[in-house]
Amino acid sequence: MRIKDLILFLVIFGSAGVAVFLPSTGIIFQPYLLCFMMLLLFLSFLNLDFRALLDTSREPLLRLATMASVKLIVLPTALYAIALLLIPEYAIPILLLSGISTGVVAPFLASLVAADVATVLRMVIVTSLAVPFSLPCLVKLLAGAELSIPLDSMIRMLALVIFVPMGSVLVLRRFVPRTLEKIAQRQYPVSLLLFSLVNLGVFSKYSSFFFQRPGQIMVCLAVAYALSVIYYLTGFLLVPGQHVRERLAAALSLAVMNNVLVIVFSSHFFGPLSPTLAAMYMFPFFTMIVPVKLIARRVEWAAGKPEKVGR
């Protein structure tokens, strides 16, 4: 683990711990969670090359459509149905987490495990454009009979959070590219600060939940790891016959999602269990990368192609 990764880990979980045990430190940040999330996405979009969508050849386009459909519709619907039978109180939290867009840090993680970065990048862009409409409609369709769900409000919120930062990057990239370069040079420390502020705001709001129901926190953690395994396995099996790089890209596109966006989004419309599950996904979000690299290396070796995966 590099020093930057260790610092990121300490900041994320340290700020969450402070908010849980000293909730008064985070109350001041609670009204500004949407703003923090938009700034995080703005910084993440700085490194995305939107020209990746220009490849419209048949095979990559078909593969992208299949992966996006599974990511945003098929997998969240299937997991929601399974959760209704096995753990019904987690059905909606699982639906929200499973149906959110591919994480904006996924291309970076793809480079760490030698996955196909271009495929992951295209998934980030396509799912980010679609999720403001797909997720609210999916929740309304599947759970609308059980909950009073403000569909229009959910669509407006997700569209605001995603499209404004994305549009701002495109406009600034066109007219003041040097300004973006200067911002990008400070991206890492600013992102750390925003992550910590989001955690302080969210976890301070649900601090009592951790003490009143500690057993449920452990269940959330177990569910988060189980979901991560399902996401990775589904993605890896989704493109059989492809090179390991492509299969890893599909796996990362499903397993690495904008769970911080789920924390902010679900805290507005749903109870504490949804943001809690999304927050607990932070653990598999980072720790699953190591076994994924090892398994990919084993698959590569078994296929008789000793190409090195990751470092």
The Cα–Cα gap between 79 and 83 comes to 6
Position 77 scores a pLDDT of 97
Residue 163: domain span = 3-302
Position 215 scores a pLDDT of 86
Residue 1: how many other CB atoms lie within 10 Å: 10
Note whether residue 232 is domain-resident: yes
310 Rama class: left (phi>0) / alpha (psi -120 to 50) / beta: left
Note whether residue 277 is domain-resident: yes
Note whether residue 138 is domain-resident: yes
Position 230 scores a pLDDT of 96
SS3 47: coil
Note whether residue 311 is domain-resident: no
The C-alpha angle with vertex 288 and arms to 77 and 275, in degrees rounded to 5, equals: 50
Domain count, the chain: 1
Report the CATH number that the domain containing residue 98 is assigned in CATH: 1.20.1530.20
Q: What sign for the dihedral angle of Cα 205, 209, 214, 219?
A: negative
Note whether residue 309 is domain-resident: no
Position 302 scores a pLDDT of 63
Position 311 scores a pLDDT of 46
Note whether residue 146 is domain-resident: yes
Position 305 scores a pLDDT of 52
Note whether residue 236 is domain-resident: yes
Q: DSSP letters along 76-140, please?
A: HHHHHHHHHHH-GGGHHHHHHHHTSPBPTTHHHHHHHTT--HHHHHHHHHHHHHHHHHHHHHHHH
Residues 281 and 266: beta-carbon distance below 8 Å: no
Position 306 scores a pLDDT of 47
Note whether residue 189 is domain-resident: yes
The Cα–Cα gap between 297 and 171 comes to 41
* Ranges of residues in the chain whose predicted pLDDT is under 50: 306, 308-311
For residue 16, count CB atoms less than 10 angstroms from its CB and return exposed for 0-12, middle for 13-18, buried for 19 or more.
buried
